[in-house]
Amino acid sequence: MFERKPTRQIRVGNEKTGVVLIGGGLDGTTPAPVSVQTMTAGYTYEIDRCIAEINRLAAAGADIVRVAVPERKDTAALRDILDQTSVPIVADVHFHFKRALEAVEAGVHKIRLNPGNIQDRDQVNAVIDACKDAKIPIRVGVNEGSIIERKDKEKRKQELGAYFEKNLIGGKQAHLLGLIIAKLEEYMDIFRERDFADVSISCKSMDAAFTIAAYQEVSKRFDEPLHLGVTHAGPRETGAIRSIAALSGLLTQGIGDTVRISYASDPVYEVEDGLELMYSLGLRERAGIDLIACPTCGRIQVDLFTLVQNVRAKLASEITIPMKVAVMGCVVNGPGEAEGADVAVFAGDKKGIIYVQGERVANVPESEILDRLLDECTAFQRKVLAGEVKLGEKVVEIVPPDPIGELGSGFEKIARGDVEKSTSLTIKGN
């Protein structure tokens, strides 16, 4: 749908995990679908828990999972973890280049290095050589928060000084971006000199607008595939808006080859929301249920929020085909909005009327809506898998039922004058 900027392609994973391609379009490669990554929230050295978390994230749809390896005991756990998981694993390395060497030795599928904290050329060279021998890629991951020198006090003073000086004249973002690009170019030169091209790049910030500006700049200057993300985006409530604002802005410009949404929450949400973003932008073919639900309003006469949550929770594991399911609160706007749904329910007056590809199949009391809807969805899935019907085959206009006596709510009542057409409000004191 959106023309993607051609990038080099890298491969992550092996026969056991399956290979995830990132980027493409240059050197005769075809652009791979935008992949969705996440990172475990637990300690890597707690082997069983880490394996369980990785498997849970893979089951939620993560294409790649990253783990932190701050200590020797974390890299020591990697062999067991790699043995018992089947998704490509990235070792996230900060400060200690030896963790990268140990992770490569253990058989990890990719390394992430931060130019902000591993700068020694010999150390970077050692990691590059190890990855070259193991034929695994490296992500050069710059973060706004760690780009300013930490170890060398003199250099740190200069960088901070320059940053604040510009900040005073309102050039904060421009200067910070300049600093990031300069560091990134300097770092990427090490890889070029070492003739190592198996690299992806990220350039994350906490600010959505800055993230967009930074990746636009990086995309102009580098052909490496880009890993998109907003760092430290916060809890899901705010992090989702921040992440989706930045990532949608970039993806619709054709920028970005793999994404990680980051929340201060269960990483399963990062995967779910990353995938939903891809589906919503048409960048990936949907796997599983496409749920439409009305926001509810003053016409609602059933507990629609609970119904929608239950439908989502139950169907997420049952439905494996991209079936469109609509859960609508009434028959006023519902039919038009649910048009094209494979299975739809219109609720009202403590009842639900269920349609399958436009044909009315049931009218059940509220207490039975969930079970009947699930039955209809699974039966419909069986028919699709057996080749008896096709998804989205019948785009039928759903004729709303007569609400009088059926649902007891809706425009028919208004049209018949059963409901007052307007009410004048008298505000006390006026």
Q: Which is nearer to ligand SF4, 295 or 417 (CB)?
A: 295
Rounded to a whole number, what is the largest CA-CA distance in the chain?
83
Strands 20-23 and 9-12: antiparallel
Compute how many other C-beta atoms are within 10 angstroms of the C-beta atom of residue 260: 27
Q: Is 296 in the site for ligand SF4 (CB under 6 A)?
A: yes
Helix (H) or strand (E) holding 142: strand 138-143
Query: Tokens in use for 272?
Result: 């779910």
Say which DSSP state 145 is in.
G
**Should residue 333 be labelled a site residue for ligand SF4 when binding is judged by CB under 6 A?**
yes
Number of residues lying near ligand SF4 (CB under 6 A): 12
* CB closer to ligand SF4 out of 199 and 330: 330
Closer Cβ to ligand SF4, 295 or 405, answer by number: 295
By CB under 6 A, residue 332 contacts ligand SF4: yes
Q: What is the token pair recorded at 74?
A: 């974390």
CB of residue 350 to ligand SF4, shortest distance in Å? 14
Question: Within 297-326, which residues bind ligand SF4 (CB under 6 A)?
Answer: 297, 299-300
Q: Shortest approach of ligand SF4 to residue 299 CB, angstroms?
A: 4
CB of 307 to ligand SF4, least distance (A): 12
Q: Which is nearer to ligand SF4, 233 or 344 (CB)?
A: 344
Based on CB atoms, which residue is closest to ligand SF4, 10 or 330? 330
Within 16-75, the residues that bind ligand SF4 by CB under 6 A are: none
411 binds ligand SF4 (CB under 6 A): no
Find the shortest distance in angstroms from Cβ 425 to ligand SF4: 21
Whole-number minimum distance, CB 422 to ligand SF4, in Å? 17
- The encoded tokens of residue 297 equal 């309003």
Residue 241 beta carbon to ligand SF4: minimum distance, rounded to whole angstroms: 22
Of 218 and 294, nearer to ligand SF4 (C-beta) is 294
CA distances from 79 to 99, 104, 108, 391 (A): 14, 10, 8, 43
Cβ-based nearer residue to ligand SF4, 198 or 406:
406
Region near ligand SF4 per CB under 6 A, out of 131-139, 193-201, 251-259, 332-340? 332-340
Which candidate, 144, 109, 142, places its Cα nearest to that of 35? 109
DSSP output for 365-401: EHHHHHHHHHHHHHHHHHHHHTTSS-TT---PPPPPP
Q: Minimum CB separation from ligand SF4 for residue 334, in Å?
A: 4
Assess 330 for contact with ligand SF4 (CB under 6 A): yes
Distance CA 378, CA 380 (A): 5
Q: What minimum distance in Å lies between the beta carbon of 331 and ligand SF4? A: 7
CB within 8 Å of 4: residues ≥ 6 apart:
25, 31, 254, 257
Which among 178, 164, 163, 187 is positioned nearest to 210, based on CA atoms?
A: 178
CB of residue 414 to ligand SF4, shortest distance in Å: 12
Nearer residue to ligand SF4 within complex by CB, 148 or 325:
325
Report the distance separating Cα 68 and Cα 13, nearest Å: 18
Nearest CA-CA partner of 324 in 276, 353, 289, 357:
289
Per-residue burial over 372-402, b if 16 or more Cβ lie within 10 Å, else e, is: bbbebbeebbeebeeeeeeeeeeeeebebbe
Six token digits for residue 301:
């006469």
Q: Judged by CB under 6 A, which of 58, 78, 199, 294 binds ligand SF4?
A: 294
| List 295, 405, 417, 429, residue binding ligand SF4 (CB under 6 A) | 295
* DSSP state at residue 204: E
Specify the DSSP element, H or E, that contains 425.
none
Comparison of 141 and 410: residue with beta carbon closer to ligand SF4: 410
Q: Is 329 in the site for ligand SF4 (CB under 6 A)?
A: yes
Q: Is 328 in the site for ligand SF4 (CB under 6 A)?
A: yes
The binding site for ligand SF4 (CB under 6 A) comprises 294-297, 299-300, 328-330, 332-334
